[in-house]
Amino acid sequence: MRKHKKHHTKKIGMPPGSLIYVGQADNDVSQLAKPTISLIEYDLADFVERTLNIDELATLNVNENANKKVWLNVHGVHDAALIKQIGDFFHLHPLVQEDILNTEQRPKVDEFDDYLFLETRSFKYDKANMAVDSEQISMVLGRNYLLTFQERSTGIFEPVRERLRVSRSHIREFGVDYLAYTLLDSVVDRYFSVLEDVGEASEALEELLLSKPSNAELHSIHQLKHVSIELRRAVWPLREVINSLMRNDNGFFKPTTMPYLRDVYDHTVNFIESLESIRDSLSGMMDIYMASVSQRVNLEVRALTVVAMLFMPATLIAGIFGMNFHEMPWLAEKDGFWWAMGLMVSIALIMILIFWRRQWLSSKT
């Protein structure tokens, strides 16, 4: 299992709102790709997409009465100075900026007077290693703008961009609240793709356990259980986040968007139920493995017991004829040795027949 260590110790003793990047410890910040800012401005008729320089940030018109909607996406959140510039321009609270830089946040939603801050996670399943690679996604929903912050470019939002590029597309008819729903729906849809891969791996693993269990299967069970724990840790809070968005206390989502949010909520509940089913299946696999190991040990012990019992009569006969008596049956006989050996073999054959009739020699019982 690939595990990423995080620089949590960086935050110890620092005051609230300290802008320090908390990311993967095995990646030097200086070696990470330079953050990129993509800007999309659109309305029903017009669409403009370009890469934005941080110096051009002041030219944006994000007033509530502005004609065009603005979607600003940042790939790479390790540059604290960049996050601060963007946060200061959009008047984001220092704690919000801190949460964007901390890539180990649980899904949550915070409401402010002028904007809504949302954090969630995206996952990608690695079939070869039976592990998931996670990415934190932060969203800031204003009245006429949407900010998204991603750790890296994964292409998860590219289908949404394709829909926006289409002239007079359905997504352009609504405000940025509908765009935020669309992005959130893309994240949840990615969950189902991961769930499908995990389910297929679970079914294949179950077949192996029923046929020939080994230590490799035990390791795979632990791998999948770790994956399910990570998914559950992300989706359970997300359900509460979407439930909070549906309450819409500050009116950031229009009534026309609420049915779509309820649909995402239903998808989240469905995902949780399916994930719990897989978790139960993995727990059952552990029981199957332990039962298989126990049965294998019992068969080996039974085989050794049968062998020992076959030699016990021979040992008894050899011990009797080894006693120091001057007169014993067959001692003076010319073929006494062969009579004794024949008796041993006969008793062993009779015992084998008895064991076979009682199915003690079968590996299936």
Q: Do residues 293 and 213 lie in contact, with contact meaning Cβ atoms separated by under 8 Å?
A: yes
Tell me the backbone φ, ψ of residue 141, rounded to 5 degrees: -105, 115
Nearest partner of 177 among 255, 235, 247, judged by Cα = 255
pLDDT score, position 29: 60
pLDDT score, position 259: 93
User: What share of the chain has pLDDT > 70, as a percent?
Assistant: 88
Please write the tens of the pLDDT for every residue from 132-159. 888 999 999 998 899 999 988 888 999 9
Q: Do residues 98 and 21 lie in contact, with contact meaning Cβ atoms separated by under 8 Å?
A: no
pLDDT score, position 11: 62
pLDDT band at 3 (very low <50, low <70, confident <90, very high): very low
DSSP E strand boundaries for the chain: 36-42, 47-51, 69-75, 108-111, 115-126, 131-142, 145-150
Please write the tens of the pLDDT for every residue from 43-78. 888 899 999 888 888 888 777 666 788 999 999 888
CATH superfamily assigned to domain 28-291: CorA soluble domain-like (3.30.460.20)
Mean pLDDT of the residues in the chain:
83
Q: Give the 3-state secondary structure of residue 361.
A: coil
**Mean pLDDT, residues 205-226 taken together:** 80
| 365 pLDDT above the threshold of 70 | no
Quote the CA–CA distance of 346 and 131 in Å, as a whole number: 59
Give the list of residues 6+ apart from residue 139 with CB closer than 8 angstroms, or none: 117, 118, 119, 120, 146, 147, 148, 149, 180, 183, 184
pLDDT score, position 362: 64
**Mean pLDDT, residues 330-346 taken together:** 77
Q: Give the 3-state secondary structure of residue 206.
A: helix
Whether domain 303-357 has CATH 2.40.50.320: no
Q: Token pair for residue 145?
A: 């703008």
Residue boundaries of the structural domains of the chain: 28-291, 303-357
pLDDT band at 23 (very low <50, low <70, confident <90, very high): confident
pLDDT band at 241 (very low <50, low <70, confident <90, very high): very high
Site of tokens 């289908």: 159
pLDDT score, position 4: 47
Domains 28-291 and 303-357 share a fold: no
| 360 pLDDT above the threshold of 70 | no
Tell me the backbone φ, ψ of residue 238, rounded to 5 degrees: -65, -35
pLDDT band at 188 (very low <50, low <70, confident <90, very high): very high
